[in-house]
Amino acid sequence: MATTESPTGLDTHGIDASGEVHRNPTTSLLYAHALERGEARLAEGGALAIDTGVHTGRSPKDKFIVREPGSEERIWWSDVNAEIAEDRFEGLRAKVTDYLSGRDLYVIDAFAGADPVHRIAVRVVTDRPYHALFAKTMFIEPSEEELGTFDPRALVLHAPAVEADPDEDGTRSGTFVVLHPTRQEVLIGGSFYAGEIKKSIFTLMNDRLPLEGVFPMHCSANVGPDGDVAIFFGLSGTGKTTLSADPERSLIGDDEHGWGDSGVFNIEGGCYAKVIRLSAEAEPDIFRTTHTYGTILENVVLDEDGVLDLDDAAKTENTRAAYKLEQIPNALPEKRAGHPRSVVMLTADAFGILPPIARLTRDQAMFYFVSGFTAKLAGTEIGVQEPQPTFSACFGAPFLPQPPAVYARMLGKKLDEHGAAVWLVNTGWTGGPYGEGERMPIKATRALLSAALSGELVGVEYRTDPIFGFDVPAAVPGVSGGLLTPRSTWADPEAYDRNARELASMFTDNFAKFGADDNLVQAGPRV
């Protein structure tokens, strides 16, 4: 086996790498190999531009968890977590290792989790330099000393060119993302979309961390000058990355965190931002990364000279940029801080019903956390002709190996212990639904968040929403008073009432399937 630096124990994973093995290679080497192999193009500013082919996003229906004795009793078996038999896993593993054997390989050894007590050593093995660069970017790089004694506890075997045979392998299609919880192994094939690597490890951490008493969260996080930590739960498109990248606060991370006994810590070492129609004026720090060496751009349109067009969604609405956290000027080097003083739940309400901000009680926080509401927009998916409600438990159902109640109880416990204020923030529509109203002004959202995080909203007057039951500020400096009362922004207030009752019923119908305690049911809308 020829090696640039032979990774300890590589052969013990069943891979006979007779080609060259690059262990934790430099960014420049990965750039060179990706360009030489025609996997990538060089964009203006030095970013590496990639097309991921047919798959321009995750394939949630092709994700499986191995049903095996060590974990089967705690797994949330559902459409979210489809089961696959252990013998089928072994068959797929053999296909992947056979494919990787004899090829030039890229091995990334890194950590998931910035808290040394709760981090896990991850090894990613792939034959694609671009995907190796993605793993190097998104996970936390070990020091030279740590790399010398690195002992991987989780393994990702990544072979996107390998396709499954559904009849033989028990999959739905040729694509597969398979997690074996006890062995902490992941197999990925049939998709070149790099996000599968990061989210498979997040899924693993969502299973592992609760066993250690740590609350895993699909959220961004930042910290103010006086140490006040804020976390932002939210699904894709709600502003999780944008709103946490606040120049007045230090960024802990934009997507995946744990909340343990010592506070909040980032699970990752990088950011994976959605960049469709990214604005240099509204999001200058994130925009700058799209023109920077070391950034990976997925499915972004560029011309023959490498000039980017971030407004072009010809390939997908889900254009992405992956970059190191340190590329954001105010990123917190430690990637961890204390316990949150504020918990923000972001929703992009395309129905134009919810207020731009509302204060939640502890039980209301549990209700809206388990609900995980946002909305799909017309035109974003085939067959979607009007806004459709999306309820994703705990703002991240695709990444929850255990039942939502497990994570909801952990949130409730943390709120009881640390007394954080909880806010529901609508970054969606006002003045009517999508197509009639307008998007919530980002300046107003930022002003409301600034007031909430600074404590300015503690003593102001509130009104109780008659349908949803939460408290809404009557006035906030710098924000139009009418914006705080959604009904007044509609041309037809009675139409607002009808739509509000309909949305409230959607919430209660969705929540009923969880069989929650009556106090949490009562914390929901009044229908």
Q: Is 218 a catalytic residue?
A: yes
Q: Is 241 a catalytic residue?
A: yes
What are the backbone angles phi and psi of residue 150, rounded to the nearest 5°? -65, 130
Among the listed residues 22, 23, 58, 324, the single catalytic one is 58
Among the listed residues 236, 262, 485, 508, the single catalytic one is 236
Q: Where are the beta strands (DSSP E) in 332-448?
A: 336-337, 340-347, 357-360, 373-376, 388-391, 421-426, 429-430, 438-439
CA distance 59 to 193: 9
Q: Is 295 a catalytic residue?
A: no
- Structure tokens of 80? 């979210």
Q: Which residues contact 123 (CB under 8 A, 6 or more apart)?
A: 7, 107, 108, 109, 152, 154, 155, 156
- Kindly give the pairing relationship between strand 63-67 and strand 176-180: parallel
CA distance 527 to 522: 10
Among the listed residues 137, 238, 241, 445, the single catalytic one is 241
Q: Is 191 a catalytic residue?
A: no
Count how many Cα atoms sit within 13 Å of the Cα of residue 503 in the half-sphere of its side chain.
22
- Are the CB atoms for 322 and 400 separated by under 8 Å? no
H runs (alpha helix) in 226-308: 240-244, 284-289
Q: Which residues contact 418 (CB under 8 A, 6 or more apart)?
A: 339, 340
Among the listed residues 255, 363, 465, 471, the single catalytic one is 255
CA distance 416 to 2: 56
Residue 403's closest CA among 178, 62, 184, 80? 80
What are the backbone angles phi and psi of residue 365, rounded to the nearest 5°? -60, -45
Q: Is 255 a catalytic residue?
A: yes
Give the H or E element holding residue 84.
Answer: strand 82-85
Among the listed residues 88, 218, 249, 336, the single catalytic one is 218
Phi-psi region at 231: left, alpha or beta (left = phi > 0; alpha = psi -120 to 50): beta
CA distance 513 to 78: 13
CA distance 472 to 460: 10
Among the listed residues 55, 199, 249, 414, the single catalytic one is 199
Find the largest Cα–Cα distance for the chain: 74
Q: Is 240 a catalytic residue?
A: yes
Q: Is 409 a catalytic residue?
A: no
Among the listed residues 123, 180, 198, 240, the single catalytic one is 240
Among the listed residues 119, 320, 324, 414, the single catalytic one is 320
What is the set of active-site residues? 58, 199, 218, 236, 240-241, 255, 320
